[in-house]
Amino acid sequence: MSAPPPLDAGTHCALASCGTSDFLPLTCAACSRAFCREHAAPSAHDCPVGSNDAVLPAADLVKHAGSYGPELRELLPDRDRVKRVSEAVQVSDEERAKRARQQSALDKLRQAAEAKKGAAQTPPKPAAAVKKVSPVLELARLKGRAVPADPKHVKRAGDVAMADRHFLTVRYARSAGDAGEETRDVWVAKSVTAGRALDLFAALFEVVNVNNETTEAAKLLSLASSADPPTRLDLAQPLSTQTANGGKVVLLKGCTWP
């Protein structure tokens, strides 16, 4: 066990008739002497400077149950007060977080409104005009891609001079309403009839040509211009006299012509 504190620990009350040793002495604000709690008031020790309590600052007079000075429990931390302060700080943090969220939402709404206002004020850019390619350039490109429709000219293309070639883009339609994109870029001799061209184009698209075997409209092949509506070509006439060089034709199957 630890030794008890010495009997003379603390400060003795300055009042001669008391002399009590006090661990928590109080100093008189008037005469600056140390007294115990019972004699701290000027009137309790016949203070030569202050004759009554009224001369002391209010902050220096701590009355408690008829005596002066704080009790021991008043000098200890107030748990309730610490709890109240902690709760107040916690509420403040929650409130700050709530206000931050509200401000963020307001900022987003403001930005969206400004963006919408700016978009409404900015006139839309006009659509870029589609640059039209000249027919001469289109024909030159077609000549670079085209292959001979007649197999005998694949290895002997020189048999037909460039000036005697007729260049076309051929599309195959499996029915009258078919708008398929299956096409071939080809050339034929200008002397070739539309009928002979029909045979060559059918072979290119691997379509069986039974025009000489049947009169059933659903199986017949015909050749037409790519106009809307298409115009049937005369199979007995040269193809070059019925279509433009660099033009387009359609190989139709099952088309009933008027």
Q: Could you tell me the pTM of the whole model?
A: 0.49
| pLDDT at 90 exceeding the cut of 80 | no
- Listing DSSP states for 129-149 in one string gives PPPPPPHHHHHHHHHHH-EES
Q: Does domain 135-253 have CATH number 3.40.50.150?
A: no
- What tens digit of pLDDT does each residue of 204-216 get? 999 999 999 988 8
CATH fold match for the domains 11-75 and 135-253:
no
Calculate the alpha carbon distances from 200 to 51, 145, 215 in Å. Answer: 137, 18, 20
Calculate the alpha carbon distances from 93 to 24, 88, 97, 99, 141 in Å. Answer: 39, 9, 6, 10, 74
In this predicted model, which residue has the larger pLDDT, 237 or 122? 237
The DSSP secondary-structure symbol of 2 reads P
Residues 6+ apart with CB under 8 A from 140: none
Q: Can you say whether the dihedral through the CA atoms of 19, 20, 23, 28 is positive or negative?
A: negative
Half-sphere exposure of 30 (CA within 13 A, CB side): 20
Q: What are the residue ranges spanned by the domains of the chain? A: 11-75, 78-109, 135-253
Distance CA 163, CA 157 (A): 13
- What tens digit of pLDDT does each residue of 115-160 get? 877 776 767 677 767 778 788 999 999 999 999 999 998 888 788 9
CATH class of 11-75: few secondary structures
- What tens digit of pLDDT does each residue of 94-103 get? 788 888 888 8
State the average pLDDT over residues 24-52. Answer: 84
